[in-house]
């Protein structure tokens, strides 16, 4: 669904709610999950303006749920 994001350093760190907000408005074009500790994941997201942003390290279950939300937003936007 999403293209893979290069593992470049992120230009900034945003909360998971901010990242999901970017997904709602159709700005997310790529996403990657990166382990950052025991049962902790960081989301690395590429936006339409080619900027990479990262989430803080969050529990794996929350990261997976957020991925599902971003995929849902992506599908919904393509249907419209």
Label each residue of 9-62 as H, E or C. CCCEECCHHHHHHHHHCCCEEEEEEEEEECCEEEEEEEECCCCEEECCCEEHHH
> pLDDT over 70 for what percent of the chain?
84
For residue 32, tell me if it sits in a domain. Answer: yes
What pLDDT is recorded for position 8?
Answer: 56
What pLDDT is recorded for position 6?
Answer: 52
CATH (domain of 17): 2.40.50
- 56 token code pair: 């803080």
Whether 42 has a pLDDT exceeding 70, the answer reads yes
Taken in order 60, 23, 9, 32, is the CA torsion positive or negative? Answer: positive
For residue 1, tell me if it sits in a domain. Answer: no
- 22 token code pair: 């970017």
Number of domains in the chain: 1
For residue 67, tell me if it sits in a domain. Answer: yes
For residue 35, tell me if it sits in a domain. Answer: yes
For residue 7, tell me if it sits in a domain. Answer: no
Domain extent, residue 59, equals 12-79
């Amino acid at each position: 669904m999403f293209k893979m994001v290069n593992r470049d350093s992120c230009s900034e760190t945003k909360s998971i709610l901010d990242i999901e907000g970017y997904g709602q408005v159709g700005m997310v074009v790529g996403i990657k999950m990166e382990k950052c500790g025991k049962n902790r994941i960081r989301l690395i997201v590429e936006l339409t303006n080619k900027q990479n942003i990262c989430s803080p390290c969050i529990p794996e279950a929350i990261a997976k749920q957020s991925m599902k939300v971003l995929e849902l937003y992506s599908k919904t936007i393509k249907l419209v």
